[in-house]
Amino acid sequence: MRPSRIPLLLLGLVTAFTFSAATAADARGHLVIIGGGERTGAIMKRFVDLAGGPGRARIIVIPLASSEPVQTGNDYVAEFHGLGVTDVRAVVPTRAEAMAESTSAKFDGVTGVFFSGGDQVFITRVIVGTPLQRRLQEIYRAGAVIGGTSAGAAIMSKVMITGDELINKDSANIFVSILKGNVQTIEGMGFLDRVIIDQHFVKRKRLNRLISVVLENPTLPGIGIDESTAIIVKPGGTAEVLGEGTVVVVDGRKARNIHTDGRGNLAGRNCTMHIFSTGESFDLQTLQARPARKH
């Protein structure tokens, strides 16, 4: 574990279950969850349309995950301007500002919030457990669209994969096993509380990582989203796949005999996997495919 991450475990314990997660079933808003890589024009246009469309959308970008948040925020503002959005700005709050009600008030009337890529822990250590987290969940419930790419995708679930390994320390061979207690998870933003999100999934061969997390959290299916690919989570809990790659879902809810051997390798029976491609939709609760519908 990197020393800088130790306080985050304490933060996760202190703030766990502080807020009721804004589940897709009870929210009027949408989620646009992008697996990283190139953001296709179709995906970003869809985000803008869900936020009200060119000339009407009011968007705030939160580039906290970036190592250069100011420049990243400026880049996103320019990107949204290119999509016809006239009311867009970047906000980079500190932890103290996230605790202040005046910061939450900045999101009044906002129709879309977008989280950049980078390191997802940079986002959660500032926002999780604050009034700003509560405000973001409120506007999602009320009808706003919340989007994010890469790190901005990982934060969407309540159980969040940090990207760190706790047992394997070989940085040249990451996530090469399915070990109990190896994949670090902490509390995410909680826009979804019944699944776990992973990103860059097929491109970076992260199946071992997601299987490990699902076997340790068998009530929560894992959704791995590939690069240049997104799921659009709609009110009622249907997820539509949009983009150039695939979405892999690992479901351990009917798994039995989950156990470890003497080396800590996780094992189990009756885990299932679903693979969805662009244009397909599925129910987040049942994971059953849904007929394609016009949006």
Reading the block at residue 223, the tokens are: 């959704």
Does the pTM of the predicted model rise above 0.75?
yes
What's the mean pLDDT in 17-38? 78
How far are the Cα atoms of 45, 77, 227 from residue 80, in angstroms, in the given order? 9, 5, 20
Domains in the chain (CATH in brackets) are 3-13+28-280 (3.40.50.880)
Neighbours of 2 (CB within 10 A): 10
What is the reported pLDDT for 18?
Answer: 40
- Cα–Cα dist 59/61, whole Å: 7
Distance CA 4, CA 49 (A): 39
d(CA 268, CA 250): 13
Best CA proximity match to 160, nearest among 136, 193, 138: 193
Q: Is the model's pLDDT at 1 over the cut of 60?
A: no
pLDDT at 16 over 50: no
8 pLDDT above the threshold of 80:
no
What local confidence, expressed as pLDDT, does residue 292 receive? Answer: 61
Least confident of 18-22, 96-100, 225-229: 18-22
- pLDDT at position 291 is 76
Q: How much is the pLDDT for 26? A: 84
Confidence (pLDDT) at 40: 97
Average pLDDT of 177-200?
98
Average pLDDT on 169-185 reads 96
Average pLDDT, the chain: 92
pLDDT at 293 over 70: no
Q: What is the mean pLDDT of residues 117-145?
A: 98
Q: Beta strand 281-283 with 238-243: parallel, antiparallel or unpaired?
A: antiparallel
* pLDDT, tens digit, 9 for 90 and up, residues 57-90: 999 999 999 999 999 999 999 999 999 999 999 9
What's the pLDDT band for 10 if we cut at 50, 70, 90?
Answer: very low
Q: Looking at the predicted structure, is the pLDDT value of residue 270 above 60?
A: yes
| Per-residue pLDDT at 14 | 37
Residue 167 has pLDDT above 70, yes or no: yes
Question: In sequence order, what are the residues at sequence separation of 6 or more whose Cβ sits closer than 8 angstroms to the Cβ of residue 100?
Answer: 131
